[in-house]
Amino acid sequence: MNLQISGLSKTYPNGVKALDNVSLTIEPGMFGLLGPNGAGKSTLMRTIATLQEPDQGTVQLGDVNVLEQKDQVRQMLGYLPQEFGVYPRTSASAMLSHLAMLKGVVSRTQRKELVGAMLQRVNLYEHRFKHLSGFSGGMKQRFGIAQALLCHPGLLIVDEPTAGLDPNERNRFYNLLADVGENTVVILSTHIVQDVKELCSRFAILSNGRVVFSGGPAEATAELEGRIWERSVSKAELPDFQSRYQVLSTKLVANKPLIHVLNDEDPGEGFVSVRPELEDVYFSMTQGQAIHAETETTAAL
């Protein structure tokens, strides 16, 4: 059951064009959706999740018209938005049980087993009777993951899912998604390239509401083969290099900038050729919208 998105466009009343003729074919499995803040990812996710209408275009999930058969879509949908609310005085167990009932699980015994198993999967079982108001940010995010995975959805949409998770919980979530993605259309919307690198065999990059790339990681990096150059510069030299080259990213390594530049020929000046990474692809295609990533990395000398 494929998800077919064709010619989707959306312009908000303030004139912002959030989606500009977006077309994608998404097969069962993990599909990454990369893009900086404001690229249109959340608008696309809300449209697929039947929460808003596009100006034009179609969305088809198998034989189901997503934009017209909303109730049918919602029965098979799992959705974790970037921000979601909870009933603060309700326990995690009671809230999940209520959501399971809305999904059609009418047997109390079956709901209890389903809810218990799901809370175990997201490492919240020992907190099952605790009010959601007492949950930390990471616990609320794990609860959001649990409700999205409830009742084995046929279409799962997760928008910036690893925010607030520590490394162990992030790995646990990766494993959950990989398991679910074997038989389900899973869309992972994020601006974290590592999430896509770890999980997705295919992905798309959105920038300014348009699809600027769709394919696999190997296909993406092949386009930059022989065109990525790296060297360490001083902080004082950095502005000069940024003015003369297309600097894709800047990392602080041992308190000294390590830059990646995109150039068709050897720039000289001490640059060395390096194999392109997915981050290089991402920054090369979104530079018009996103500020260069500056990541502090501690490296041994």
- Using CA atoms, how far apart are residues 2 and 14, in angstroms rounded to an integer? 33
- Using CA atoms, how far apart are residues 274 and 2, in angstroms rounded to an integer? 37
Nearest alpha carbon to residue 233 among 218, 252, 211: 252
Q: Supply the DSSP symbol for 126.
A: G
Give the per-residue pLDDT at 294.
33
* Domain match, 202 and 244 both: no
Determine the Cα angle at 81 with ends 78 and 83, to 5°: 145
Kindly provide the b/e burial profile for residues 2-39, where b requires at least 16 CB atoms within 10 angstroms of the residue's own CB.
ebebeebebeeeeeebbbbebebebebbbbbbbbbebb
* Domain match, 116 and 175 both: yes
Of 200, 215, 230, which marks where a domain is finished?
A: 215
pTM to 2 decimal places: 0.82
- Using CA atoms, how far apart are residues 288 and 297, in angstroms rounded to an integer? 25
* Domain match, 45 and 125 both: yes
Determine the Cα angle at 56 with ends 52 and 59, to 5°: 70
* Domain match, 236 and 94 both: no
Cβ neighbours of residue 140 under 8 Å, at least 6 residues apart? 86, 132, 164
* Domain match, 202 and 227 both: no
- Using CA atoms, how far apart are residues 146 and 133, in angstroms rounded to an integer? 17
In the chain, how many domains are there?
A: 2
Kindly provide the b/e burial profile for residues 134-170, where b requires at least 16 CB atoms within 10 angstroms of the residue's own CB.
ebeebbbbbbbbbbbbbbebbbbbbbbbbebbeeebb
Determine the Cα angle at 138 with ends 81 and 156, to 5°: 30
Give the per-residue pLDDT at 64.
95
3-state secondary structure 65-101: ECCCCHHHHHHCEEEECCCCCCCCCCEHHHHHHHHHH
List per-block mean pLDDT (blocks of 10 residues) for the chain, which spans 301 residues. 95 95 95 91 93 96 94 90 79 93 89 93 92 87 87 88 78 80 85 84 94 93 95 95 95 92 95 95 78 32 29
* Domain match, 36 and 93 both: yes
Q: Tokens 């990059």 sit at which residue?
A: 205
Cβ neighbours of residue 126 under 8 Å, at least 6 residues apart? none
Of 215, 232, 255, which marks where a domain is finished?
A: 215
Give the per-residue pLDDT at 169.
79
CATH number at residue 167: 3.40.50.300
Q: Please list the residues that pair with 231 across neighbouring strands.
A: 259
Q: Please list the residues that pair with 247 across neighbouring strands.
A: 261
* Domain match, 48 and 175 both: yes
* Domain match, 68 and 127 both: yes
Of 195, 215, 235, which marks where a domain is finished?
A: 215
Nearest alpha carbon to residue 51 among 142, 152, 137, 157: 157
Q: Write out the two tokens for 274.
A: 């390096």
Q: Write out the two tokens for 244.
A: 């003369």
- State the residue range of the domain holding 285: 221-297
